[in-house]
Amino acid sequence: MNESLHNLPPIKTLWQHIWQGIRRWHVNRPVSFYLLLSMPVVLLLGVELAKAHNDPKKFFLFLALLFTFFLVVLLRAIVDFIEITRKHLAEQKKLFRATLGETEFLETLKKKNRSESE
């Protein structure tokens, strides 16, 4: 009897496929994406700041919450910038090693340069 017929993977339902796709989608999204999505909501909630001009404690609370949120967004943007820069520099170093860092490539380049200059 065919052995591959007995080792079939378990059958997944449609909902299992959907949840697996959502999990994969969520893992690939950075935190800054969700912070960007929350900005309009925070700004709409910040409209309460205009209504709280008579109560200084309420005004300060809303203002402190807005500044705290935007400070978190700013810090996360700085962290993302550092991560992107670090990845860029690592890829640049890897590319350099793959081309100009190889002795064979340099020797071929020198030979070609000498033959063209003569």
Q: What is the pLDDT of residue 8?
A: 76
Which residue intervals of the chain are DSSP H helices?
14-28, 31-45, 48-51, 56-98, 103-117
* pLDDT tens readout for residues 58-117: 888 888 988 999 999 899 889 988 988 999 999 999 988 887 778 888 888 888 888 887
pLDDT for 49-60, tens place per residue?
788 778 888 888
Query: Would you say 79 and 99 are in contact if contact means Cβ atoms under 8 Å apart?
Result: no
What does the pLDDT read at residue 85?
93
